[in-house]
Structure 1
Amino acid sequence: MLNHARCIVLEDMPKKGFELDEDMFVLLIDSYGKAGIVQESVKMFSKMKELGVERSVKSYDALFKVIVRKGRYMMAKRFFNKMIDEGIGPTRHTYNVLIWGFFFVNEVANCSQGIFAVDRINDGLRLLEEMKSVGIKPNNVTYTTLLPDLCDAGKMTEAKDILKEMVRRRIAPKDNSIFLKLLNSQCKAGDFESGCGSMDRLEKQKFLFRQLLKKGVEDPLAFNNLICGHAKEGTPDSAFEILKIMGRKGIPRDADAYRLLIESYLRKGEPADAKTALDSMIEDGHLPDSSVFRGVKENMDLVAKILEALLMRGHEEEALGRIDLLMSSQCNVNFDSLLSILSEKGKTIAALKLLDFGLQRDCDIDFKSYDKVLDALLAAGKTLNAYSILCKIMEKGGVTSWRSYEDLIKSLNQEGNTKQADILSRMIKGDDKSHENKKGKKKASVAA
């Protein structure tokens, strides 16, 4: 019932001889502001002077809070100048309210207001400098207000200066999310090192990571960006240590963080560490993408690990595409090793596709690998698949010592695939005769 309250203060109380004080008007200014009626708040503030009620920084602060909450940026500047003209000195609270207001306006500004939003941020920074010039030290509220929008506006130099000041004064942000935003922006910009240049590496780790963990802040985005920052600055060991801690605490780790870590190790000429990071990446459920593959192509042990991971997880087409790329680049692929692993692990479809790929391109594959794949297919009850690949092996003239022909023929008959069983039987008999003929010709040649 704001209008009733207003009538009591402005009409009833003066008629009855009650003295009006600043606190009554501060309450009205604040109440109208909370109701969203800014013009009435301004009227109440103006009425104070008309009625002879002295205005101090308290009533100005109440008015500033109402004005900036509604984004009335220019109005706030005018009243601030008026306050200075009246000889009323702003307090830390005054500066915090105004700085918050100028930066809050930046958050609600759209594209068409972009230039004005930047102006408001600059005005906020000028207020900060003025605040310090009159001996008023910013507190955690001030920093909490400044940092997010400085990051969003791309003013990382100013943000870094504020961070250094906070470290020097040992002031932690009031809201941890503010600190995380700063951390994300610095790491994304690839400027993590200079952003914390005032601290040595051990202090950075404690301040940027362990301190957050101690406070119970486990933000995956911030920590993954921290890993990326270390990887970009060429300190993969620090990044890997954070990855391990995240793993122990169950904090999700991103594929991009792993990718940058692997690339960082490779740039430093440490393929063994890159392989360890790759193993961790695969164990964490992430599949290396093409960029990782290109980056580790010169380290064939890593390539084999990637191909194995793709095939084991059912990404056969992607793996075969990688193999095709390697072969076109004159890089050798160990088909025998991959076929052996897949067969032993029961990944029969992946083994079948890989073997078929190798046969089509006349790759160098040991006959023992043929046998392992055929045994795995037969053991898994995939008789038609075994029949199909065996026919291709024989058509290609592949030599195999496989001794389970009869078992395959028997299984085909039992499953009703009598036609395939008959074809395979005649192929095997024809193959045996071919071998006998070749042996006979060889003996005749020797005799001659």
Structure 2
Amino acid sequence: MSLISSSKSRISNHNFFSNLTRITNTHQPFKALNFFCSSSTLDKPPNEEQNPDPESLKSAQEFQPGPVKIPESRIPRGKHRNPEKIEDTICRMMANRAWTTRLQNSIRNLVPVFDHDLVYNVLHSARNPDHALQFFRWVERSGLFKHDQETHYKIIDILGKASKLNHARCILLDMPKKGLKWNEDLFVILIDSYGKSGIVQESVKIFRSMEELGVPRTIKSYDVLFKVIMRKGRYMMAKRYFNKMLSEGIVPTRHTYNLMIWGFFLSSRVETANRFFEDMKSREISPDVVTYNTMINGFNRVSKIEEAEKFFVEMKAKNIDPTVISYTTMIKGYVKVNRVDDGLKLFEEMKGFGLKPDAFTYSTLLPGLCDAEKMADANNILKEMVHRHIAPQCNSVFLRLIVGQCKSGDLDAAADVLKSMMRLNVTPEAGHYGVLIESLCKKGVYDEAVKLLDQLIENEILLNTKGGLELESTVYNPMIEYLCNNGMTNKAETLFRQLMKLGVLDQVGFNTLICGHAKEGSPDSGFELLRIMLRRNVACEEATYKLLIESYLKKNEPSDAKTTLDSMIENGHRPDSLVYRSVMESLFEDGRVQTASRVMKTMVEMGVKEHMDLVSKILEALLLRGHVEEALGRIDLMMNVGFAPDFDSLLSVVCEKGKTIAAVKLLDYVLERDYSVEFSSYDKVLDALLAAGKTLNAYSILCKIKEKGGVTDKSSSDELIKILNEQGNTKQADILSRMIKGSGGKKVKKQVSAVAV
């Protein structure tokens, strides 16, 4: 680590604390103090060309392109041109190793003598405040070095910036034990550190303790206290301490008044701030440009632009040249009260005086121009920013520009804003692309929208959520719909899956993607998305299920269609009869009769009483394949809901196919429940049984028919009696003969029952 400017090469003879006349650190931006710091360096316009930074100038010279000089001889391996400084070596060792006795011994072996410069530079260069604190305590406890005020100030400063305030406080209070005197600057930095951490009461306690500890307080102590308590809105406390300061004979400075005025405006105490401004002048303390900037900004905060204008004019009248901050503050006030034309005039006036606008100026004016729909002026200013390579402080300015250009209908200009961001090395966020994509979709320019979408997907811009400008549903849903309707569902899914990584579970997007996959003949991809929806409790629409089922059926995958149908029903949808028919028909044609039967069962349970032709085919197939019990169960379910099948047709089919067992069971089912069938159906069953040689079965069925009062063809009965006699079943033939003749009474019925059993 190079320590050209910050490292100490020797101990200065002058007082180390003499340069701490002010507490405000002008090189560390504090949002509330941006325009009100008393440092004159912030009041000067940035002029990179005339006053380049020495370090940056040195770097530029080092990396200046030029002819490559080939060395005469190769540098031996392991030889370094610039050997590492001892303090850098120590800091690297502390950063890479745990703080142990072994490390301490290594440092001690490396450095035989610890002098002031080395200790100070190690503290300054330490990569971690804990490392600095460990080193500070170790060299002292080991007797390697005795700390002085300068090293104490350095460690307190380091710990204060790291919010390790208890350690800093203990080190400060222990100084007298080491024979060191306190200095006001040590307390000043601790007061400021507690204030920056938001612990105002501790800052006040430390300030009060200075008097008890015999540390004289000057305007430096009071100034840092005013800054701390004003930052938290304690304006009444600030007034009390201001009066106490006067009673102690301490004369306020211009910087003191600037802090007080700033604080009163921060708490919206406009009249009090104005009185302090007058009191300042009464003490013959001339306001400077910072004072006027504070007054101008304060009145702008409360939308009193006329008062701000008065102070701006007064500043010019007193030959105090307005700075970039002055103009920016006035422009901000004009924009706030919707007087953007006046702000634009002031912007041009500033440039006319040779003052170059900075990032704050541009960021202040551009939103006002967008709100006033002055997009041509906004575009010109953006070009000027790109030319000067100045990016605004917040990317939301670019969003306002894109929105404004899209609203005005100039989509090319909106696209140029994205290009300008890239030229300024500002990475566009998803929200920036989103506004333009949405506008392109509304105008029907989908090709350009798709190109922008490709950039979003390929560069994974969607997954970059640091800026917070995410893609809205009004953007991605129209794009997903367009892509799915134009054969690009896979691209749409890639977009949506990136959104899902951000926690997006958009119902419309899911359903559109599933429909897109279904239309493109990729139902499996759609069903995978359906599973994700169900796992994450996102509702799927009925139309989406229907399209998915149709897609499976077109691919001749009826079992998957049935699975989708089951999911549809489980999730509260009631498919129409055509959906049931299409699934059942496809399963039936594919030879999956039992699966079709289960779909039929579900359909009947849902109260659908249609498609009897298909239902009959399924029942017939079940009976013919031997699934008689299943068929009878389906028939029983149908009868319970008043959806009766055609028994005569079923009996006729099974008899024709010679399925006598199925015919007997079906006829038994009909007779037991007294369902009506045609007389011809009885005869068909008997004929089938006789043709199959199952005379006893025929005898049993015929007895049941006669017992129930059914009528059959006499020739069939005579044929059965004849066969029974021929086979030696004379008893059954005699019983059947008497039943036909109408005689037999109870005795016959008992005999029939016994025979049947």
Equivalents in 2 of 1:249, 1:132: separation in Å? 32
The 5 Å alignment of 1:216-235 reads 221=473, 227-228=480-481, 230-231=483-484, 234-235=487-488
Unaligned runs of 5+ in 2: 1-268, 655-661, 692-712, 720-757
Which residue type is aligned with residue 73 of structure 1?
Answer: V
Contact persistence 2:316–2:322 (CA under 8 A) = yes
Equivalents in 2 of 1:54, 1:406: separation in Å? 113
Alpha-carbon spacing, 1:224–1:438, altered in 2? closer, same or farther (3 Å): same
Question: Counterpart in 2 of 1:276?
Answer: 524
Structure 1 residue matching 2:310: 3-state secondary structure = helix
Which residue type is aligned with residue 375 of structure 2?
Answer: I
Render the CA deviation track for 1:1-44: whole Å, top value 9, x for unaligned.
222322433x3333432222111111122222222333322332
Structure 1 residue 437 corresponds to structure 2 residue 437: no
Question: Counterpart in 2 of 1:163?
Answer: 418
Which structure has more RCO (C-alpha within 8 Å, separation ≥ 6)? 1
Alpha-carbon spacing, 1:128–1:233, altered in 2? closer, same or farther (3 Å): farther
Alpha-carbon spacing, 1:424–1:98, altered in 2? closer, same or farther (3 Å): farther
Q: 2:586 aligns with which of 327, 334, 352?
A: 334
Render the CA deviation track for 1:378-405: whole Å, top value 9, x for unaligned.
69xxx98543357511479556859998
Q: 1:4 aligns with which of 269, 272, 285?
A: 272
Q: 2:645 aligns with which of 386, 393, 398?
A: 393
The worse-fitting range, judged by mean Cα deviation, of 151-160 and 38-47 is: 151-160
Alpha-carbon spacing, 1:209–1:289, altered in 2? closer, same or farther (3 Å): farther
Which residue type is aligned with residue 194 of structure 1?
Answer: E
Alpha-carbon spacing, 1:82–1:162, altered in 2? closer, same or farther (3 Å): closer
Q: 1:48 aligns with which of 306, 309, 315?
A: 315
Structure 2 residue matching 1:357: 3-state secondary structure = coil
Question: Counterpart in 2 of 1:194?
Answer: 448
Alpha-carbon spacing, 1:243–1:211, altered in 2? closer, same or farther (3 Å): closer
Q: 1:32 aligns with which of 265, 284, 299?
A: 299
Alpha-carbon spacing, 1:158–1:317, altered in 2? closer, same or farther (3 Å): same
Render the CA deviation track for 1:199-240: whole Å, top value 9, x for unaligned.
9x5x65232456437999986836666645654665433333
The worse-fitting range, judged by mean Cα deviation, of 150-159 and 60-69 is: 150-159
Alpha-carbon spacing, 1:299–1:310, altered in 2? closer, same or farther (3 Å): closer
Question: Counterpart in 1 of 2:235?
Answer: none
Structure 2 residue matching 1:334: 3-state secondary structure = helix
Which residue type is aligned with residue 4 of structure 1?
Answer: T
Equivalents in 2 of 1:287, 1:334: separation in Å? 24
Question: Counterpart in 1 of 2:382?
Answer: 128
Unaligned runs of 5+ in 1: 106-116, 410-421
Structure 1 residue matching 2:338: 3-state secondary structure = coil
Equivalents in 2 of 1:187, 1:277: separation in Å? 26
Which residue type is aligned with residue 576 of structure 2?
Answer: A
Contact persistence 2:402–2:432 (CA under 8 A) = yes
Equivalents in 2 of 1:373, 1:68: separation in Å? 86
Aligned-pair distance for 1:255?
3.9
Question: Counterpart in 2 of 1:367?
Answer: 619
Question: Counterpart in 1 of 2:577?
Answer: 320
Equivalents in 2 of 1:190, 1:403: separation in Å? 69
Alpha-carbon spacing, 1:162–1:364, altered in 2? closer, same or farther (3 Å): farther
Equivalents in 2 of 1:147, 1:373: separation in Å? 72
Aligned-pair distance for 1:426?
0.6
Equivalents in 1 of 2:574, 2:629: separation in Å? 21
Alpha-carbon spacing, 1:241–1:178, altered in 2? closer, same or farther (3 Å): closer
Q: 2:464 aligns with which of 212, 217, 220?
A: 212
Which residue type is aligned with residue 55 of structure 1?
Answer: P
Which residue type is aligned with residue 577 of structure 2?
Answer: L
Which residue type is aligned with residue 458 of structure 2?
Answer: K
The worse-fitting range, judged by mean Cα deviation, of 213-222 and 44-53 is: 213-222
Render the CA deviation track for 1:278-304: whole Å, top value 9, x for unaligned.
322432245455489579968743696
Equivalents in 1 of 2:562, 2:547: separation in Å? 12
Aligned-pair distance for 1:61?
0.2
Structure 1 residue 100 corresponds to structure 2 residue 363: no
Highest CA radius of gyration, 1 or 2?
A: 2
Contact persistence 1:287–1:309 (CA under 8 A) = no
Contact persistence 2:553–2:586 (CA under 8 A) = no
Equivalents in 2 of 1:22, 1:403: separation in Å? 112
TM-score by length of 1: 0.66
Alpha-carbon spacing, 1:362–1:228, altered in 2? closer, same or farther (3 Å): closer
Equivalents in 2 of 1:50, 1:248: separation in Å? 60
Equivalents in 2 of 1:233, 1:146: separation in Å? 31
Alpha-carbon spacing, 1:80–1:298, altered in 2? closer, same or farther (3 Å): same
Aligned-pair distance for 1:99?
0.5
Identical residues among aligned pairs (%): 16
Contact persistence 1:2–1:31 (CA under 8 A) = yes
Q: 1:425 aligns with which of 667, 673, 685?
A: 673
Contact persistence 1:312–1:350 (CA under 8 A) = no
Contact persistence 1:30–1:66 (CA under 8 A) = yes
Render the CA deviation track for 1:156-214: whole Å, top value 9, x for unaligned.
322222223434554214x7644554555556766565357599x5x652324564379
Which residue type is aligned with residue 95 of structure 1?
Answer: Y
Alpha-carbon spacing, 1:186–1:332, altered in 2? closer, same or farther (3 Å): farther
Structure 1 residue 357 corresponds to structure 2 residue 610: yes
Equivalents in 2 of 1:80, 1:198: separation in Å? 34
Structure 2 residue matching 1:79: 3-state secondary structure = helix
Structure 2 residue matching 1:36: 3-state secondary structure = coil
Alpha-carbon spacing, 1:213–1:93, altered in 2? closer, same or farther (3 Å): closer
Structure 2 residue matching 1:143: 3-state secondary structure = helix
Contact persistence 1:209–1:223 (CA under 8 A) = no
Structure 2 residue matching 1:365: 3-state secondary structure = helix
Structure 2 residue matching 1:17: 3-state secondary structure = coil
Across the two proteins, how many residue pairs are aligned to each other?
Answer: 399
Equivalents in 2 of 1:216, 1:307: separation in Å? 44
TM-score by length of 2: 0.43
Alpha-carbon spacing, 1:217–1:367, altered in 2? closer, same or farther (3 Å): farther
- Considering only aligned residues, what root-mean-square deviation do their CA atoms show, in Å? 5.1
Structure 1 residue matching 2:681: 3-state secondary structure = helix
Alpha-carbon spacing, 1:423–1:128, altered in 2? closer, same or farther (3 Å): farther
Alpha-carbon spacing, 1:125–1:66, altered in 2? closer, same or farther (3 Å): same
Aligned-pair distance for 1:250?
6.0
Question: Counterpart in 1 of 2:334?
Answer: 67
Alpha-carbon spacing, 1:243–1:263, altered in 2? closer, same or farther (3 Å): same
Contact persistence 2:406–2:439 (CA under 8 A) = yes
